Amino acid sequence: MKPMRHPGDAVIYGIVLMAAILAFVCPHLTGRAGDMPRTVVITYDDTRLTFPLEEDCTVPVTTASGHTVMIRIADGHAAVTESTCPDGVCIRTGVIERTGTAIACVPAGVLIEIEGGVTDADAILG
Amino acid sequence: MPMPSLDRSPRFTARCGLLLCLALIFSYLEVRLPLVFIPIPGFKPGFANLVIAFTAYTCGCPTAAVISILRVLISSLLFGSVTGFWFSIAGAGASLLIMTVLLHTVRRYVSPLGICVASAAAHNIGQLTAASVLLSPAVFSYFPVLMAASLFTGTLTGFLLGRLLHSAERIPLLRRISPPDCPPTKKGSQ
């Protein structure tokens, strides 16, 4: 038998393709894609600061131990740009953008985390 | 539509055993050999589904259902997990459902390609539904990717299924079993 010349195939392909496209486009149109906006949470000493990831800003943080850490939020990323800590691991961590990722500056006692948004479906479906 | 009874002849039992083993081998290979060159989690070519579709075509949908459920049970026991079992059974159930509906209503208008794409899509929807119930509705963000993937894998398995059905006609053990257990493939009686 020839696996061609069946009109139903075109219909099925069409439906699946439309479902894929609609599901891809619709959340963007209605703005429900990310649901919760992602935020950058900076924790040090007993302070907890929250900033939207979408708005660019630079946050200088001075801790009780005397360290100063500069946190830059830009283009949907967060990164430590300057730090007075001795080893600079926090700067070398680079940028974070995904929910659940974090930068820690242990000598200064500063933790920068990304929260909110849709959790990644990776590693769930097997 | 009369529900066809399962054939109990040794020949039929032997064939079912063969098909079940094949489906299990493919399940195992898909678990053990992740497709590193296609970096989509949960992406499988669906060769186990190919065996199930082949069974549905040549032995009827009830037989395919039995083999599919047994495959999911055994493969989950042997190389799966409890959560994995629910994903698999939801996927297999949805895929079987759509396959049965299509084969019993629009069989003459749909080729193996269409059947495989539809059942691959249904399999993914079933898995996603199970995942959204068990884990989080957020997994539906993954829907477009899986639909696109099922177009691809469905086409691959559908093409193979078409060739297989063609070749199987010449192999006595694999030839389509006479009605009422299965409706003819070409003319579409149902």
| Domains delineated in chain B | 10-174 (1.10.1760.20)
Q: Are residues A18 and A66 in the same domain?
A: no
pLDDT at B100: 92
Kindly list the residues from chain B whose CB atom is less than 8 angstroms away from the CB atom of residue A3: 111-113, 158-159, 161-163
Task: Specify if A122 maps to a domain.
Answer: no
d(CA B125, CA B91): 7
Question: Apex CA B147: angle with CA B113 and CA B115, to 5°?
Answer: 20
Domain region containing A16 = 1-33
d(CA A12, CA B151): 10
Interface probe for A, chosen from B76, B141, B163, B164 (most Cβ of A below 10 Å), is B141
Q: Cβ A8–B42 below 8 Å, yes or no?
A: no
| Inter-residue long-range contacts of B127-134, CB under 8 Å, 24+ positions, other chains counted | B127/A125, B127/B42, B127/B87, B127/B88, B127/B90, B127/B91, B128/A125, B129/B90, B129/B94, B130/B86, B130/B87, B130/B89, B130/B90, B130/B91, B131/A121, B131/A124, B131/A125, B131/B87, B134/B83, B134/B86, B134/B87
Answer yes or no: do A98 and A45 share one domain: yes
- Please give the Cα distance from B114 to A16 (Å, whole number): 10
* Tens digit of each residue's pLDDT (9 = 90 or more) over A19-58: 888 887 876 655 444 456 788 889 888 888 888 888 888 8
Q: Are B149 and B121 in contact (CB under 8 A)?
A: no
B contact residues 161-190, partner A, Cβ 8 Å cutoff: 161-163, 165-166, 185-186
In the prediction, which pLDDT does B190 show?
37
Residue among A16, A24, A32, A120 with most chain B CBs within 10 A, to mutate: A16
Residue A126 domain-assigned?
A: no
**Domain membership flag for residue A20:** yes
- Domain assignment present for residue A125? The answer is no
Angle at B22 between CA B17 and CA B24, to 5 degrees: 95
Q: How far apart are CA A71 and CA A99, in angstroms?
A: 17
pLDDT digits (tens, 9 = 90+) for A70-126: 999 988 888 999 888 888 888 888 888 887 788 988 888 889 988 876 544 443 443
pLDDT tens profile A12-25: 899 989 888 888 78
- Is residue A123 one of the residues assigned to a domain? no
**Domain for residue A73, yes or no?**
yes
pLDDT at A45: 86
Same domain, residue pair A22 and A66: no
Residue B76 · residue B84 · CB < 8 Å? yes
pLDDT, residue A36, reads 62
Do residue A27 and residue A86 come from a single domain?
A: no
A105 domain-assigned: yes
Whether A9 is in a domain gets the answer yes
CA-to-CA distance for A34 and A56, rounded, in angstroms?
Answer: 18
Alpha carbon of B123: minimum distance to chain A alpha carbons (Å): 12
Residue B50: count of CB within 10 angstroms of its CB: 24
Domain co-membership, A29 together with A43: no
Amino acid B180: pLDDT: 43
Task: Based on the fold, state whether residues A45 and A89 are members of the same structural domain.
Answer: yes
Q: What is the distance, to the nearest Å, from the Cα of residue B132 to the centroid of all Cα atoms in its chain?
A: 22
Task: Indicate if A43 and A26 belong to the same structural domain.
Answer: no
* Residue A75 and residue A14 share a domain: no
Q: How far apart are CA A38 and CA A32, in angstroms?
A: 13
Cβ–Cβ under 8 Å, residues A76 and A97: yes
Q: What is the pLDDT of residue B146?
A: 85
Assembly ipTM: 0.75
Helix axes B47-59, B82-105, angle to 10 degrees: 40
d(CA B82, CA A57): 46
Q: B177 with B59: CB under 8 angstroms?
A: yes
- Could you give the CA distance from residue A115 to residue A57 in angstroms, rounded to a whole number? 17
Q: Rounded to an integer, what distance in angstroms lies between the CA atom of residue B101 and that of residue B117? A: 14
Domain co-membership, A28 together with A63: no
Is residue B48 less than 8 Å (CB to CB) from chain A?
A: no
A66 at interface of B, judged by CB pairs closer than 8 A: no
Question: Are A9 and B151 inside 8 Å of each other by CB?
Answer: no
User: Pick from A7, A121, A123: which is nearest to B109 by CB?
Assistant: A7
Same domain for A80 and A101, yes or no, is yes
Per-residue pLDDT of chain B (190 residues; tens, 9 = 90+): 444 555 677 888 888 899 999 999 988 888 777 655 555 556 677 888 899 999 998 888 888 999 999 999 998 888 777 777 888 899 999 999 999 999 988 888 888 999 999 999 999 899 888 888 887 777 777 788 888 888 988 999 999 999 988 888 887 766 666 444 444 444 443 3
Same domain flag for A105 and A61? yes
Cβ atoms B15, B173 nearer than 8 A: yes
Report the C-alpha gap between B125 and A35 in whole angstroms: 21
Residue B82: per-residue pLDDT: 74
